[in-house]
A and B are shown apart, each in its own frame.
Chain A
Amino acid sequence: MDAESELMLRLAEGDESALGRLYERLGSNVYTLALHMLGNREDAEEVLQDSFVNLYRSARRFDPALGSVRAYTYTIARNQARMRLRSRRSRPATQPLEEREPVAVAADGATAMALDGALARLELDELKLLEATFFDGFSNSELAERTGLPLGTLKSRIRRALLKLRGLLGEP
């Protein structure tokens, strides 16, 4: 079991110090994600709070067979941010999807450089689709409507883009 899964196990038993350790490890990524989605520091800070409160309350539901602790945590944060986007009844992406800039990537460290390289090898449409899917708070149905793609096709493209990204990252 990896260190973060062990922390999650302790958290599920109510160990607040485990939440503190997870906050140290993942807090800035959660904040970065929220800020990227919402574009507002105050809202992002609230999402950061909400996410870790939610993580504490839902730790028992974590299933390592369905993804890592990071994946679980970022998914919670994404949904918290998504709810805020919906409550605003507006989206940061007022531009049509095809005019949006794709995911910006930090060239910081070996992992980020590898990701930078992998993203650079994705098609622009794939990048924009991933951005819209993961960061803009659209449901698949909404995205299908905006892009004009059939829902099944859209889901396949998202999945293909993700698998391609993971494949590229796995290359030596």
Chain B
Amino acid sequence: MSRPGELLTDYAHGALSAAETVRLEEHLSSCASCRGEVRDVREGFVELVEGLPRVQIPTGVWVKVLSRIRGQRVRAGRRLAWGLAASLVLMAASGFWGFQALENAAQADLESQTVARWLSREDVSRVSLGIYPSGGYGSVLLLPNGRTLFVLSDSPARGNSYQAWGRRGDEIVSLGVFNRPVFETTTTGYEAIGVSLEPRGGSPEPTHTLGRAELPGP
């Protein structure tokens, strides 16, 4: 092995192997002179760096650093934040109903982002679908252009699907079959909407209605 004094500059630069670093640090712990030499090299480097023409730091890097050090915690936290934000907005606007549905929906990142995006709009309104026989909750978010977001408390049981319906007079029309708690469709022209639980793939007409709601008139 090289003598410690020969390795100090490389150590100061962080250029030694792990094994050499360990050995040299053992020496440094008991040698004030070598510690001073390492310090001199490093502080000399500081002078050089801080003498360079300063460049403006790019924006957005700090957020990336934070994301990396938090790793999974950031992603989980973001999902929770979306869920909480969505729930709080809904509670403030419409009372407690729908809270559970939104909270559960928020556990799926994409769905929670969709819900939060809808709730962030000033022109959104919310209608409760009432209480399911199973005890779950459902809500519908409505936009003036007829776009509608069904938000249910959980996914359908295995082997089943949800199906959205619209009523216009005596006519009941399927608005779509879905297997996730969140579903987007259009309800323009309907007086009422509802959701039912159906065998996987849907049915020609509702067989097990979970909830329904009258829509505001034009």
Residues of A within 8 A of B (CB): 16, 19-20, 23, 27-29, 31-33, 35-36, 41, 45, 48-49, 52-53, 56-57, 65-68, 70-72, 74-76, 78-79, 103-106, 108, 111-112, 115-116, 118-119, 130, 133-135, 139-140, 152, 155, 158-159, 162-163, 165-166, 169
Q: List 16 A-B contacts (CB under 8 A).
A: A16-B69, A16-B70, A27-B61, A31-B55, A31-B61, A32-B54, A49-B64, A53-B69, A67-B42, A67-B46, A75-B42, A105-B51, A106-B51, A111-B50, A134-B49, A159-B40
Measured as residues with beta carbon below 8 angstroms from the partner, the interface class of chain B is 35 or more
Instruction: Find chain A residues with CB under 8 A from B50 CB.
Output: 29, 70, 111-112, 115
Q: Are A68 and B13 in contact (CB under 8 A)?
A: no
Max count, chain A CB within 10 A of own CB: residue among B28, B44, B62: B44
- From B4-12, B129-137, B177-185, give the one contacting chain A: B4-12
Minimum CB–CB distance from B27 to chain A (whole Å) comes to: 12
Q: Is B169 an interface residue (CB 8 A)?
A: no
CB < 8 Å: which of B47, B53, B69 contacts A166?
B47
Residues of B within 8 A of A (CB): 6, 9-10, 12-15, 28, 35, 37-58, 61-62, 64-66, 68-70
Instruction: Find chain A residues with CB under 8 A from B47 CB.
Output: 115, 118, 165-166, 169
Assembly CA distance A163 to B69 (angstroms): 37
Q: Are A134 and B58 in contact (CB under 8 A)?
A: no
Q: Are B42 and A103 in contact (CB under 8 A)?
A: no
Assembly CA distance A78 to B51 (angstroms): 15
The residue in chain B whose Cβ has the minimal distance to the Cβ of A106 is B53
Q: Are A32 and B42 in contact (CB under 8 A)?
A: no
Interface of chain A, main secondary structure = helix
Q: Are A76 and B14 in contact (CB under 8 A)?
A: yes
Take A48-B61, A140-B10 as given contacts and tell me if A36 and B45 are in contact as well, using a CB distance cutoff of 8 Å.
no
Q: Are A16 and B13 in contact (CB under 8 A)?
A: no
Q: Are B46 and A68 in contact (CB under 8 A)?
A: yes
Q: Are B54 and A75 in contact (CB under 8 A)?
A: no
Q: Are A165 and B61 in contact (CB under 8 A)?
A: no
Minimum CB–CB distance from B30 to chain A (whole Å) comes to: 12
The residue in chain A whose Cβ has the minimal distance to the Cβ of B70 is A16
Instruction: Find chain A residues with CB under 8 A from B53 CB.
Output: 32, 104-106, 108
CB < 8 Å: which of A16, A78, A108, A140 contacts B45?
A78
Q: Are B58 and A31 in contact (CB under 8 A)?
A: yes
Assembly CA distance A112 to B38 (angstroms): 23
Assembly CA distance A49 to B49 (angstroms): 18
